A and B are shown apart, each in its own frame.
Chain A
Amino acid sequence: MIQKAKSYRSKYDAIVIGAGHNGLTCAAYLAKAGKKVLVLERRHLLGGAAVSEEVVPGFTFSVCSYVISLFRPHIIRELELAKHGLEILPLETSYSPHHDGPGLCRWADSEKSRREISRFSRKDAEKYPEFALDMQRVSMFARNIIDQKAPDPTSFNPSELWKLLKLGKQFRDFGPDFVHMHNKLLTMSSYDFLSEYFESDALKAPMSVSGIIGTFLGVRSPGSAYVLLHHYMGEIDGVFRSWGFAKGGTGALSNAIGRAAAAHGAEIHVNAGVEKINLKNGRATGVVLENGDEIAADCVVSGCDPFRTLFGFVGEDNLEPDFAEGLKQFRMRGSSGKVNMALSRLPTFKDGREGTAHLRGDIAIAPSVRYLEKAYDQAKYGEFSERPYLNIVIPSLVDPSVAPPGKHVMSCFVQYAPYHIKEGPSHWPKLRDKFAKTVIDTIEEFAPDIRDCIEHVQALTPWDLEQDYGLTEGNIFHGELSLEQLLFLRPTAGWAKYKTPIKGLWMCASGSHPGGGIMGAPGELAAKTMLRSAAV
């Protein structure tokens, strides 16, 4: 699928910068509509933050993102990704070990979960299914929002008003209880919200973390409840509420999209970093590569974050000062890191549980709300957490293809690791080893033999995510997913429809509505918007 020869046409209908999964999705839709599309990727492989790399021989790491849930099922169908090699293996458990005792494991089997939860609270065990139902109802509505362009409440345009009315009506049709619940979800902290249902800390802690992943919020910060929904919005192949691994690592998804794009005629080049976007009379006319090559196109679509795109490729000098000021207020500050490990064998958790069934899903190091909140408090003052929240997966248990026989890969998502560390972000490389050690020490408290199992450690600090993966300030979502940075305000007021103030320049990645995560929606919606407006 990747073009070997370094030759380009004299002109393309569209150039897509960056082969992240959104860039690729956008390219595939444009190519499918018959456009001549070129994708340019700086690194040597596809995927961006949705990537698989053989970091140590025999071990394939999902280096950045590690589980798939929000990817829009209609994209899988429309681009025939299954045919192009996408296979998703569902995640069935969610396990949270404790310092003592067997911890709490939630299973796909609801009866089993009920038994586990009732060890901590009978009342919570009864409430648990009710909570899931309530959340699913709200996610149904939320899906309406992520599957269309962000409606603009400031517009007097009849079609916008109509869209708002329609959304308002859908909202209303769910009934008053729903409206109230929705308002609470938007504004409350995930801890407070869960406290309206549950009493036991052992359940609230691992549940509340869904509300903080990738944000600079604590589980007790207002506004974190909404992200809880993401856990219930997950649908794979149209099946509601399922999370999964892509077989072969997350990059397999990007590769499948790449193949779909190539099959429709898109050209994809790697090792082709873009230096700047060429402008003529305020209009994008093509790009200049890092090696000096110039390529012309009718329009340019950026699959990079808004800062890299507009301050990097375009340059602040070419932007209206008001627009630039507004964009600068878009908050990127990353708050998380990643530690990937090659293991010679599975570590033993001191939980007295038999077998490995409980380790096949995600493992949350979130023993108590106090633990999580303390981790956050440190980050507020520019330190990484001494005892961080970890979200661990061992995909090799479900997908043996990613590690040599009998061996395993362990992926640890680490929070909080603020990009703006008090010493200054450029000090991160010096802190990297200490950061990795903190993570391993944390795991050791639950699995004392972890150090004996480690063959190799790859630690990614927010600085590394910026330098190596092109994520400005290490923000995994190309900009915080906070209320004031969503919908018609993403990335900045008035420019939430994939357009930019530069004619012929579009944005199609996580910095645009509906935002970050392996969703594909920004790429798809950008392509469809461009096609409809006859920009290509």
Chain B
Amino acid sequence: MASNPNTAQNSKHKVDCVVLGSEPMGLAAAVLLAQKNKKVVVLEHSDTIGGIHGSWKIGGTSQPGLPVPMHGVTRAELLSLGFGKDSLQWDQKIGDAPTEFCGEDKSIPYFLYNSDTQAAMTGEWSKEMVQSFEQFCTFISECSPFIQRLASGKLPNTRNLNLNFIWSVATKAARLRFMGKDKMMELLRSLPMPQADLLSDHFGSLADANILKGGLSAASLGGHFLAPHSPGTSANLLLWLCRRQHGFGFGSTELVSALEKRLTDLGGTIVKAGKLQSIVSSNHLATEVQTSAGSWKASNFISTLDTKKTLLKGVGSRNMDFGTAQETKNMRMRGCSAVVGLELNTALSPKFSDRFIGKHIVFAPSQEYVEKAFDPVKYGEFAKNPVLEFTLGPDQKSVSLRVHSVPYELDEKWSDETRQQLLQAVTKTLSRFTSYQDSHLVSSVVMDPQTLESRFGLSEGQIFHGEMGLDQMIARPIVQHTDQSSPLKNLFLGGAGCHPGGMFQLRAVNEAVRQIK
């Protein structure tokens, strides 16, 4: 191991449990453990809490954090974290904080499940479009309970084809069958389809549907190394839609600070700038985590880092069997989004109205736009006309963007120059539909996938800890360890790399915490 000048490296500590990673899921795991009276420490790679979800600073202003509305959590789960009504405004339904899908000359607020506000969305649509949309919503709400159960249940373990496995598959099949024969067929037919086909089955080529289709594709595929024409992406769309139906809407930054406060109230500690160096083990038992900020002994460990990082970097491939190491290496984690922060001197507003209605804004005028933006990534280039997802600070002067279709491995290599080019592509796109002008820009920060890797410790800059292709959804993170276990008996996996993947979800950490006595 390279010697580290940091003297902290030599400082040794002892706790009951170590949690790796301070993204919301790591913090939630720590809160749950602290509630079980464990002495916990959270070790964070970077010098800010919350990873890409926390707030980070550019210039003098604090950015609102990455634009991801959190909607994979249920009320019961939030209660289990000890949140009362006042600690977080979590009783806001997603409908109150809508996503806004933008095109060049108009936008629609995306409320799917709030009939009061749906009118705002469907207002200008033709009758045919409204009808198609209603049918689409019916289809989603029919699939939703089943998908929701899949997402919140355990994955059947194909490594162990025993009675448990058969039971797990059989109950899933039965639940599916009880949706009714036609609906079951429809769902089975839909899941492996490209979402371009699924949406065209529902909306044909209705012009009114362009922004809706573009927005849905962008929001459900951004960061997955997939595009609307890729087979299997209907599953991503359905997962996205169904989770939205059940979750709560609030910003990720608020969640991070609420969790941080809750954890410190419970006596847990968070250590920043502790880059993972290794997870020491003997006889398949983890004994100690070594980081650049010191080392911690503990009896149990939960990692919410991505699986490659945890297993290959942390545990080390010589401490696991060949197959496990191989599968981990094979996990596809090609990062393909960048994060950009802008500080402006003039409030940002859309060209076609005086303000944005949404808290989470997606610019993707059509599905073809999304598909075309993705094409260059396959060849190591970034999209010249990218899909943008962003949130605005309260004064509308700070903008946090997630830019889709930006490859980890850029042919021209990432440098200040190429990052500048990316910034230009972003601002040029912004100026197509907002009041943005170059003279408004005060300062900016551009984090390409490689920067995301070094700054936040995300392997290959993959913000979902693993692409969400069908194969990586049905055996997540790797087939040997779909049940939160790892090659080490007292190390549990609990991050976005676990089923159901992506987004904020408590299933995996709950399960990991449950397994800790």
- A residues contacting B by CB (< 8 A) are 153-154, 156, 168, 172, 176-177, 179-180, 183-184, 186-189, 192, 196, 217, 220-224, 329, 331, 370, 373-374, 377, 380-381, 482-484, 488-489, 493-494
CB of A424 to closest CB in B, whole Å: 14
In angstroms, Cα B182 to Cα A223, docked, is 24
Provide 12 A-B residue pairs closer than 8 Å at the C-beta atoms, listed in order of the A residue.
A153-B188, A154-B185, A172-B161, A176-B161, A183-B158, A188-B470, A221-B230, A222-B469, A223-B192, A223-B470, A484-B190, A493-B189
Q: Which residues of the partner chain A approach B106 to less than 8 Å between Cβ atoms?
A: none
| Count of inter-chain pairs, beta carbons less than 8 A | 92
Q: Which residues of the partner chain A approach B226 to less than 8 Å between Cβ atoms?
A: 222
B contact face: mostly helix, strand, loop, or mixed: helix
CB of B321 to closest CB in A, whole Å: 12
Closest chain A residue, CB of each to CB of B470: A187
Closest chain B residue, CB of each to CB of A222: B232
CB of B252 to closest CB in A, whole Å: 28
Known: A222-B470, A484-B193. A187 touches B232 (CB 8 A): yes
In angstroms, Cα B196 to Cα A381, docked, is 13
Contact between chains at B185 and A493 (CB < 8 Å): yes
Known: A222-B231, A222-B232. A484 touches B185 (CB 8 A): no
Q: Which residues of the partner chain B approach A331 to less than 8 Å between Cβ atoms?
A: 197
CB within 8 Å of A: which B360-390 residues: 368, 371-372, 375, 378-379
Q: Which residues of the partner chain B approach A373 to less than 8 Å between Cβ atoms?
A: 378-379
Contact between chains at A183 and B471 (CB < 8 Å): yes
5 smallest CB-CB distances across A and B, nearest first, come from A493-B185, A223-B231, A483-B192, A187-B470, A187-B471
Assess whether B159 is interfacial by the CB under 8 Å rule: yes
Q: Which residues of the partner chain B approach A381 to less than 8 Å between Cβ atoms?
A: 368, 372
Q: Which residues of the partner chain B approach A217 to less than 8 Å between Cβ atoms?
A: 231
Q: A187-B469, A188-B469, A482-B192 are in contact. List 16 more A-B contacts (CB 8 A).
A: A153-B173, A154-B181, A154-B184, A154-B185, A179-B158, A180-B479, A186-B471, A187-B192, A196-B330, A222-B470, A223-B192, A224-B231, A377-B375, A380-B229, A489-B189, A494-B181
Known: A220-B378, A222-B226. A187 touches B474 (CB 8 A): yes
CB of B475 to closest CB in A, whole Å: 7
Contact between chains at A493 and B182 (CB < 8 Å): yes
Closest chain A residue, CB of each to CB of B165: A172
Closest chain B residue, CB of each to CB of A156: B177
Q: Which residues of the partner chain A approach B378 to less than 8 Å between Cβ atoms?
A: 220, 370, 373
CB of A379 to closest CB in B, whole Å: 10
Q: When the two chains form the complex, which single residue of A153, A156, A380, A482 contacts B231, counting CB atoms closer than 8 Å? A: A482
Q: How large is the interface on B (under 10, 10 to 19, 20 to 34, 35 or more residues)?
A: 35 or more
Assess whether B186 is interfacial by the CB under 8 Å rule: yes
In the complex, per-residue mask of B105-117: 1 if CB is within 8 Å of any chain A CB, else 0: 0000000000000
CB of A481 to closest CB in B, whole Å: 11
Assess whether B283 is interfacial by the CB under 8 Å rule: no
Q: Which residues of the partner chain B approach A154 to less than 8 Å between Cβ atoms?
A: 177, 181, 184-185
Q: Which residues of the partner chain B approach A374 to less than 8 Å between Cβ atoms?
A: 379
- B residues contacting A by CB (< 8 A) are 158-161, 166, 173, 177, 181-182, 184-186, 188-193, 197, 201, 226, 229-233, 323, 330, 332, 368, 371-372, 375, 378-379, 469-471, 474-475, 479
CB of B135 to closest CB in A, whole Å: 12
In angstroms, Cα B369 to Cα A381, docked, is 11
Q: Which residues of the partner chain B approach A223 to less than 8 Å between Cβ atoms?
A: 192, 231-232, 470
CB of B221 to closest CB in A, whole Å: 12
Q: When the two chains form the complex, which single residue of A196, A483, A494 contacts B185, counting CB atoms closer than 8 Å? A: A494
In angstroms, Cα B379 to Cα A125, docked, is 26
Contact between chains at B379 and A370 (CB < 8 Å): yes
Q: Which residues of the partner chain A approach B371 to less than 8 Å between Cβ atoms?
A: 380
In angstroms, Cα B79 to Cα A223, docked, is 41
Q: Which residues of the partner chain B approach A186 to less than 8 Å between Cβ atoms?
A: 470-471
In angstroms, Cα B330 to Cα A176, docked, is 18
In angstroms, Cα B161 to Cα A188, docked, is 22
Contact between chains at B161 and A222 (CB < 8 Å): no
Q: Which residues of the partner chain A approach B230 to less than 8 Å between Cβ atoms?
A: 221-222
Q: Which residues of the partner chain B approach A192 to less than 8 Å between Cβ atoms?
A: 332, 469
In angstroms, Cα B191 to Cα A124, docked, is 34
Contact between chains at B231 and A180 (CB < 8 Å): no
Q: Which residues of the partner chain A approach B471 to less than 8 Å between Cβ atoms?
A: 183-184, 186-188, 222
Closest chain B residue, CB of each to CB of A328: B201
Contact between chains at A179 and B161 (CB < 8 Å): yes
CB of A364 to closest CB in B, whole Å: 20
Q: Which residues of the partner chain A approach B479 to less than 8 Å between Cβ atoms?
A: 180
Give the residue among B159, B197, B232, B375 with the most A Cβ atoms within 10 A: B232
CB of B270 to closest CB in A, whole Å: 37
In angstroms, Cα B184 to Cα A154, docked, is 7
In angstroms, Cα B230 to Cα A223, docked, is 9
In angstroms, Cα B330 to Cα A224, docked, is 18
Q: Which residues of the partner chain B approach A224 to less than 8 Å between Cβ atoms?
A: 231
In angstroms, Cα B197 to Cα A329, docked, is 9
Known: A183-B471, A188-B471. A176 touches B232 (CB 8 A): no
Contact between chains at B231 and A221 (CB < 8 Å): yes
Q: Which residues of the partner chain A approach B469 to less than 8 Å between Cβ atoms?
A: 187-189, 192, 222
In angstroms, Cα B189 to Cα A489, docked, is 7
In angstroms, Cα B182 to Cα A377, docked, is 35
In angstroms, Cα B330 to Cα A184, docked, is 12
Contact between chains at A176 and B159 (CB < 8 Å): yes
Closest chain A residue, CB of each to CB of B179: A154
CB of B176 to closest CB in A, whole Å: 8
